Structure 1
């Protein structure tokens, strides 16, 4: 699980219509290592053609179970006695039957802004870059960002991206004798 708490309501666009208070706080309940996999494909041959993003969020049954367990956990946490003076009550998701809660979870799912793993480093057929960050089949091109990670990290992606950037510097210097 990956949790984050912010001092304002943060509904998804899909769940905002359920009624969001003007003041509140949000407990994000995320999956640290989701199994669901999305796709990013080209919509055309030009550089300005927008990519087609299919996130497939919570498409793996284990991810949906994890999301529902996360919701259960933060609801229980928010109802603890230590929050009594701060919490008037739960706004979302509220009392829902199992199917409605599943729909809520699907609609509430966000990325934590840690998009990664779309151009993984490795040696298998799905790999895009080699160990020196060079793109297979494209001479002179390297990728040095979170997309090369074969798996998303357990925490924020910033630190691994710094390491990837440092590795890119080392590889570029070595290849040019700098």
Structure 2
């Protein structure tokens, strides 16, 4: 698909339609993998070409009688975060904050309640202390865990990937 074809909607203002185009464009650029245990629900490969979503997270949520896919919102978050880390060398906390706001706006642009979405995420987020990390991708980017100095989780990830 040509780059100009991805921008189906046009606006210089804040636009839900343009943001929906962005979410689709981001999904086209990476592979999504649901086969691993990923603390904090999602992560990305070192090269940024794969977004990993925890295998236990439901793939959809019910919203107003519809089944809404969760991956597009998580992919948006992870790609924005990874890009800010790699391209601008931001600290994880800063990249995460921008990515979280982008994810929130993508959820809202899709007509889904951010509160309902967040509630689902929180219900599915395992306590970090309880996380049984068994299957970890060898190319998982560990930058978030290092920047947060989350050494217990980092240690479990390294051991499980080894």
Q: TM-score, normalised by structure 2?
A: 0.24
Structure in which a larger fraction of residues adopt helix: 2
TM-score normalized by structure 1? 0.23
Say which one has the larger Rg: 1
Q: Work out which structure has the larger RCO, using CA pairs closer than 8 Å and 6 or more positions apart in sequence.
A: 2
